[in-house]
Structure 1
Amino acid sequence: MTDVAQRIAELRNELDAHNYRYYVLDEPSVPDAEYDRLFRELQALEAEHPELVTPESPTQRVGGEALSAFGEVRHEVPMLSLGNAFEEDDLRAFDRSVQHGLGVSGGDLFGGGAEIEYSCEPKLDGLAVSLRYENGQLVRGATRGDGSTGEDITSNVRTIRNVPLKLQGKGWPQVLEVRGEVFMPKSGFEELNARQAESGGKTFANPRNAAAGSLRQLDPKITASRPLEFCCYGVGQVSGELPGTQVAMLQQLKAWGVPISRELKLAKGVEACLDYYRDIGQRRMSLAYDIDGVVFKVNNIEDQQQLGFRARTPHWAIAHKFPAQEELTELLDVEFQVGRTGAVTPVARLNPVKVAGVMVANATLHNMDEVARLGVMIGDTVIIRRAGDVIPQVMAVVPERRPRNARPVHIPEQCPVCGSAVERTQLVKRSKGKESVSEGSVYRCVGRLSCQAQLKQAIIHFVSRRAMDIEGLGDKTIEQLVDEKLIGSPADLYKLSFEQIIGLEGFAEVSSNKLLAAIENSKRPSLARFIYALGIPDVGEETAKVLARSLASLARVRQALPEVLTYLPDIGLEVAHEIHSFFEDAHNQQVISALLGECGLELQDEGELSAEFSAVATLGGMLDKLNIPTVGPGAAQKLAERFGSLEGVLNADWLDMRQALPERQAKAVREFFDQAANAQRARAIEQQLREFGMHWQSEKKVAEGLPLAGQTWVLTGTLEVMSRDVAKEKLESLGAKVAGSVSAKTHCVVAGPGAGSKLAKAGELGVKVLDEAQFLDQLKAYGIEA
């Protein structure tokens, strides 16, 4: 794996972990500033190396997953995150990009173009929610979740006193989805903590955690007892027309009884936005609620639509964050935690200190390179920052305060969880004819699934919704199963008995039988889901789909050599080596064999090699993939044309070789194949190409293409026979791209009950619309059963 690919993988893993703790557990573990730094670093690396971007990257998507304790809600219009500005120049750069996107810049390089109108409002520090009104009645409340799927919290939002259960006035759309923030005012937070302390209950670290925890109570009576408030900042799905500007739209919502920010203002031009930011920043501590910045949105709705979206953020809005707040404290100790991939991460234990109103006792140090960069020692006085007023980080050491008994930080030689050896990662960089190895920044426990920390996370991934989708196996249940030594690998899930499950905390007869049924129902996964569930390094959901769609059998995926895998779309040599190494591992082989053997899993969608890859290889291309020193595609093609076969190249003498290539290249080729291992490798690759049907002499199948190749489909409303995730899989298996919005390029819209704005947009554009019955009929015509 290259240095860049390794760093991208590390960043994605770390950001995913932070997202989970922040959005799902409400237990943030790093400051916003550190998260933002990691996120910007990942964005920069992916911008430089777009071939490494994957759909599951945190940049492509919003962090967090729905909690299993609540029902799931699919957002018809995704609930996106916002890009961030940290300096005034960041905001000016955003303004210039808006002007450019609207074609109205007309100014110089220093931003002297047309002045854009922006809506301005505080960025509340709470939990993003969606409220759905039908015919003026509140029918559903949901959290943002991962942006596409959230938690159904209808019973809880109905208890929030300033949430209207019925809209006031008249003229509201038949379907109106209101989006905003649920938060807890400072005074209510202080009163709640006082009550909790008096009764011996849990006190909350800050108002955001208190709001999130209150809104996620399974008992609505508890939520009703908490001083929560709601503030609207926008809309999602709307079946009718609303005013054409952001400010006017919010004022209309206010007229219907929906609370909006009292600080909402209209600003003309970026300098007026900065004046608003400075003013509210000065008044920040006197506000009745916590804020961590200001949100600016292009005011004109048509301009918003013209500017559009990135993968996870709109081009027309930005959050201008306030500077972090810092304090000094003593570093008491450094402990080490073990993550899913085995990464051993140093964690700072601090003398508790109040930073921006919150007591801070722990901070992450990321890795040992960061410890070395900071020069931190145990006993040091360190600067702690709570950027965005949420999570702490160690920013720097105050060397002049270092005590004489300060101790250096050493990485443990044995894993603190399982006692296995801890080794520094090795970064392998492959180029023409050679490999270079350098040390990575991460240390890993080599215990793998014998390490309980790694085992728990591997099984959590295996059962997740987009993997094997075993409902009822939450994180705590998996931790119990591992701690009780009832499971030691994913295969052991399928051996669990009723007696073992009912003995777990929180399980009774009904829930135990329900879990056993869910495990049984997971035994017929698609090939793509199974590959993704295995947790192969660097293989996300989309790469798993590529492997399944192209090679069409687990046997071929397991056998595939790295060079053969690189014939598949978007699979580079480094990822190919990760896939090959995973399936070569003896333990992984045992687990897979157990799953497919004694556990009885039956993979679906297996078959013949995809027609588009039959006879796809050429001799010249194969020679190029061998990475012979000094030999590029052109020289490889000359060898192919000269000798016509691999054996011809392998057996060519010096004079024959010189007829095809210059002396230096001819010498490099001859020396390369004079090494028996290289010749053996080349023959093995050719043999596998023959076995797979990819060899240049293989029969070329008619690549008629998939029936829906090149078409874009949109799913909207509620599908009753199959979930929308399953419908998406069916469409993708036929070659279609499934998009989240309707445009003139959309081929067809599948509309179930509750379809709203997307269905209306399809009607406006004349896009073909199918109901669910018609959609199922079309799938059946292609040989796909529901």
Structure 2
Amino acid sequence: MTEDNAQLRRTWNDLAEKVRYHRDLYYNQQPEITDADFDVLFKQLQKLEEDYPELAVPDSPTKEVGAPIAEQSSFDNVTHLERMLSLDNVFDEQELREWLARTPAKQYLTELKIDGLSIDLVYRNGVLERAATRGDGRIGEDITANARVIEDIPHELKATVDYPLPTVLEIRGEVFIPVEDFSEVNAQRIAEGGKPFANPRNAAAGSLRQKNTEDVKKRRLRMISHGIGFTEGFSPSSQHDAYLALSAWGLPTSPYTEAVTDPETVVEKVNYWADHRHAALHEMDGLVIKVDDIASQRELGATSRAPRWAIAYKYPPEEVTTKLLDIQVGVGRTGRVTPFAVMEPVFVAGSTVSMATLHNQSEVKRKGVLIGDTVVIRKAGEVIPEVLGPVVELRDGTEREFVFPSQCPECGTTLAPAKADDVDWRCPNSQSCPGQLSARLTYLAGRGAFDIEALGEKGAQDLIRSEILVDESGIFDLTEEDLLKSQVYTTKAGKVNASGKKLLRNLQESKKTDLWRVLVSLSIRHVGPTAARALAGRYRSLKALVDAPLEELAETEGVGSIIAQSFKEWFEVDWHRNIVETWAAAGVTMEEEITEQAEQTLAGLTIVVTGGLEGFTRDSVKEAIISRGGKAASSVSKKTDFVVVGENAGSKATKAEELGLKILDEEGFVELLKKGAPELP
């Protein structure tokens, strides 16, 4: 490989990693960048692959839909009857006209792009059987119980003379909170002691993942149907006819959908809704254009992630101006000190914001903003609004420059970059900085770590600032007597309250957990769930991990030299080792059970599973492969040894046939697990 090729591959890897990371945050957690910034990253990756096709590997993020379900999800996994696709985007009139030119049709439908959460509904003989999130397009989370309390979703469809009920009907829709209801939902949330949602989309996504259906009812969720998946006994000739049928059966459809017959009218509709974005009952960030005729849709087909017969015209992010009152800094769990803007509250993209990110001190200087400036804020439905820059013409001379602090605002330690070329400044007092300590406590209590429900941000800050804990090492040794010094976990009468008692119970329960969760909870830089799983799966005990040579750690799949080096350096610090020793003494898992390790029948084999298997869930089939020494791959290539095909398998099965790979059904897969490849006929 030439140096130029190697650099191209490094550039692609960097972009692909960023896209996967931010896509996972968008679908499963809290976004860190704007939709527009993500679109830029995604387009950069697409352009790179267009210019250098050899980089466009089958498992590229540009070919994937949605994001895999978060490992900490509390909902069961379900396989969609038919793959849920995403939509390709265009961002200006020229791109739209180019798409229309290569996708001619007698009639198009224009639909508002609802900024909500996708949902998949399955009706059998007119009765709601299941509801699920999009997930990765194949497998979603089972949210049936929550869907049943959304008034727009009928439990049973109504047949009509013109539209008899099909045997099986899979509906695609979007769940959202109406703009007019959002402020009341937030007011109720604040009254109950919670934090306000950043925007309706974020609120809808969080609501659908509530464990308690009564909480879901409070969120005033609505749903609009915008497509069909698998059907049995229903074959509409057009998308328009499909919507008529859905409406007749009692499913909600959009009142804003319009049929148009020529490209110029499509462009007119795009321009109209650009000026009337707030006229809809829901937030919208674009206009979707679909070829209406379903036979034409089938002929046009789809890519690995999106139909060729539909496109989304994405509107530019909304921008407003407001007064920058101050620039303050916050300290994260790794010591990174981040400036953020404190502003006069302003309504933008459907929600009121008063804070916005400024990333780092270099970014503040680059944007040229001064405290007291009127600044331009951009927000396009994302969680974190962004300061674009100042309106220089409105300055009156009272503005002042932001001075990045030389000392940590939490502990007073002198700040410095970790390395000479780092743009981020950090507080090096990781052992006793209250800001870092409380952030690490909050992190280890999260679902992706120990999952301690009664330990939130306020509780973590209280435990540190009340000096109940000096660091996270003592968290599992807390007693009721310790909590008597707390303000969060005690009553006005000075006794431990219900939350405090729940915290103590949860701490005891969470000790017995997976080793990979313990690794995540240590807040070792770069060691997230993926690397932690890989390390725990290979070494089975923390002692074996600590004793392993650096080069060996780095060779672990999904780890690499940077993560391995970070892991080793962490354990060179005395107080870090004290955390592990104290947790171990308290009974926290430090070693996986190895007595039941499965025979390594799949050692060296790469296996792809596509479609649903009766005897396995998505997680259990992956575990079955990995625990027997195999690699559970997500995409089919020439290097794939076996492709296991279940119900409703799609393009992966087709590609396996085209490549002449060995294909197994579920029975054959079970035999493979038991006997390994040499024993198969």
TM-score by length of 1: 0.64
Helix, strand or coil at the partner of 1:371: helix
Could you say which residue in structure 1 is the equivalent of 2:577?
Answer: 589
Tell me the distance in 2 between the aligned counterparts of 1:200 and 1:541. 30
Distance change in 2, residues 1:402/1:596 (3 Å):
same
In the TM superposition, residue 336 of structure 1 has moved relative to its aligned partner by 0.8
Q: Could you tell me how far apart the structure 2 residues matched to 1:553 and 1:387 are?
A: 45
For the residue of structure 2 that corresponds to 1:601, the secondary structure is coil
* CA distance in 1: counterparts of 2:606 and 2:298, whole angstroms: 29
Match of 2:91 in 1: 86
Summarize deviations over 1:285-317 as a string: whole Å, max 9, x none: 4434432211345665546764112xxx77775
CA distance in 2, matches of 1:220, 1:4: 45
Which residue of structure 1 aligns with residue 605 of structure 2? 709
Q: Report SS of the residue matched to 2:316.
A: coil
Output the CA distance in 2 between the equivalents of 1:61 and 1:71.
21
Distance 1:447 1:306, change over 3 A: same
1:515 pairs with one of 506, 514, 524: 506
Q: Is 1:714–1:741's contact at 8 Å kept on the other side of the alignment?
A: no
For residues 540 and 193 of structure 2, the distance between their equivalents in structure 1, rounded to whole angstroms, comes to 58
For 1:326 and 1:520, the matched residues in 2 are separated by 47
Please give the per-residue CA displacement for 1:459-491, whole angstroms capped at 9, x wherever unaligned: 555465555566776667656655665556665
Tell me which amino acid in the other structure corresponds to 2:648.
Answer: S
SS at match of 1:439: coil
Structure 1 Cα separation of the partners of residues 272 and 319 of structure 2:
22
**Superposed displacement of residue 363, structure 1:** 1.6
1:438-457 matches, within 5 Å, as: 438-448=420-430, 450-457=432-439
> Would the aligned equivalents of 2:90 and 2:313 in 1 still touch at CA under 8 Å?
yes
Which amino acid in 2 is paired with 1:88? E
Structure 2 counterpart of 1:72: 75
- State which drifts further: 361-370 or 139-148: 139-148
**Structure 2 vs 1, CA of residues 727 and 198 (structure 1 numbering), >3 Å: closer, same or farther?**
closer
- Tell me, what secondary structure is at the counterpart of 2:422? strand
Task: Work out whether residues 560 and 580 of structure 1, in 8 Å CA contact, stay in contact via their aligned partners in 2.
Answer: no
**Corresponding residue of 1:733:** 627
Structure 2 SS opposite 1:344:
strand
1:129 equivalent in structure 2 = 119
- Note if 1:183 corresponds to 2:186: no
Worse-matched range after superposition: 466-475 or 71-80: 466-475
**Which of 363, 376, 397 is equivalent to 1:383?**
376
Secondary structure of the equivalent of 1:383?
Answer: strand
Distance in 2 separating the partners of 1:454 and 1:46:
40
Q: 1:599 aligns with which of 563, 583, 587?
A: 587
- Residues 607-632 of structure 1: CA distance to partner in whole angstroms, max 9, x if unpaired? 9xxxxxxxxxxxxxxxxxxxxxxxxx
CA deviations 1:238-259 (Å, max 9, x no partner) are: 6787558655555543443322
Q: How does 1:527-566 map to 2 (within 5 A)?
A: 531-532=519-520, 534-544=522-532, 546-547=534-535, 554-555=542-543, 557-559=545-547, 562=550
**Aligned AA for 1:442?**
D
Q: Aligned partners of 1:491, 1:383: CA distance in 2, in Å? A: 44
Which residue is 1:334 aligned to? 327
2:648 to 757, 780, 785: 757
Whether contact under 8 Å (2:606, 2:642) holds in the other structure is no
Does the CA-based 8 Å contact 1:715-1:724 persist in structure 2?
A: no
Q: Which residue of 2 aligns with 1:308?
A: 304
Bigger drift between 498-507 and 454-463 goes to 498-507
Any idea what SS the aligned residue of 1:382 has?
strand
CA deviation digits over 1:138-176, x for unaligned, max 9? Answer: 244455578788776545543433321102227656554
Matched to 1:331, the amino acid is L
Larger radius of gyration: 1
* Counterpart residue type for residue 581 of structure 1: E
Alpha-carbon separation, structure 1, partners of 2:511 and 2:221: 42
Structure 1 residue 365: Cα displacement: 1.1
Contact 1:178 1:234 in 2 (8 A): yes
In the TM superposition, what is the alpha-carbon distance from 1:353 to its structure 2 partner? Answer: 3.5
What is aligned with 1:158?
148
Q: Which residue of 2 aligns with 1:115?
A: 104
Aligned partners of 1:416, 1:61: CA distance in 2, in Å?
A: 42
CA distance in 2, matches of 1:125, 1:529: 33
Equivalent in the alignment of 1:431:
none
Q: Contact between 1:32 and 1:391, CA under 8 Å: does it hold in 2?
A: no
Partner SS, residue 329 of structure 1: strand
Task: Name 2:357's counterpart in structure 1.
Answer: 364
Letter in 2 for 1:495: D
Equivalenced residue count is: 639
The separation in 2 between residues aligned to 1:197 and 1:461, in whole angstroms, is: 23
- Where structure 1 has 5 or more consecutive residues not aligned to the other structure, the ranges are 96-110, 427-437, 608-703
* Distance in structure 1 (CA, Å) of the matches to 2:551 and 2:17: 25
Q: Match of 1:168?
A: 158
Alignment map for 1:121-520 (pairs within 5 Å): 121-143=111-133, 154-169=144-159, 176-186=169-179, 208=201, 228-235=221-228, 243=236, 249-265=242-258, 273-296=266-289, 302=298, 306-309=302-305, 318-355=311-348, 358-388=351-381, 392-426=385-419, 438-448=420-430, 450-459=432-441, 461-462=443-444, 491-496=473-478, 507=499, 515-516=506-507, 518-520=509-511
CA displacement, residues 538-575 of structure 1 (integer Å, 9 cap, x when unaligned): 34444445555667765564355555555555665444
Counterpart position of 1:672: none
CA gap 1:186/1:67 in 2 versus in 1, 3 angstroms:
farther
Amino acid at match of 2:510: I
**Would the aligned equivalents of 1:330 and 1:351 in 2 still touch at CA under 8 Å?**
yes
Q: Percent identity?
A: 34
Q: Residues 30-88 of structure 1: CA distance to partner in whole angstroms, max 9, x if unpaired?
A: 6543454566678889999999x9x99999785798799x9514242486765543223
Residue 334 of structure 1 and its aligned partner are, at CA, apart by 0.2
Which residue does 1:434 correspond to in 2?
none
Distance 2:472 2:459 in 1: 14
Return the offset for 1:381: 2.1
User: Aligned partners of 2:242 and 2:591: how far apart in 1?
Assistant: 50
Q: Distance in 2 between matches of 1:320 and 1:559?
A: 54
Counterpart of 2:565?
577
Describe the SS at the equivalent of 1:363: strand
Change (3 A) 1:45 1:373: farther
Cα distance change on mapping 1:355 and 1:718 into 2, 3 Å:
same
Q: Taking structure 2 as the reference length, what is the TM-score of the superposition?
A: 0.72
Q: Using a 3 Å threshold, how does the CA distance of structure 1 residues 777 and 91 change in structure 2: closer, same or farther?
A: same
Q: Could you give the per-residue CA deviations for residues 680-700 of structure 1, whole angstroms, max 9, x where no partner exists?
A: xxxxxxxxxxxxxxxxxxxxx
Q: CA deviation at 1:370?
A: 1.2
Equivalent pair of 2:103/2:309 in contact (CA under 8 Å)? no
Q: Give distance in 2, aligned partners of 1:476 and 1:63.
A: 30
Where in structure 2 are there 5+ consecutive unaligned residues? Answer: 1-6, 484-488, 491-495, 677-681
Q: How far apart are 1:279 and its partner, in Å?
A: 3.6
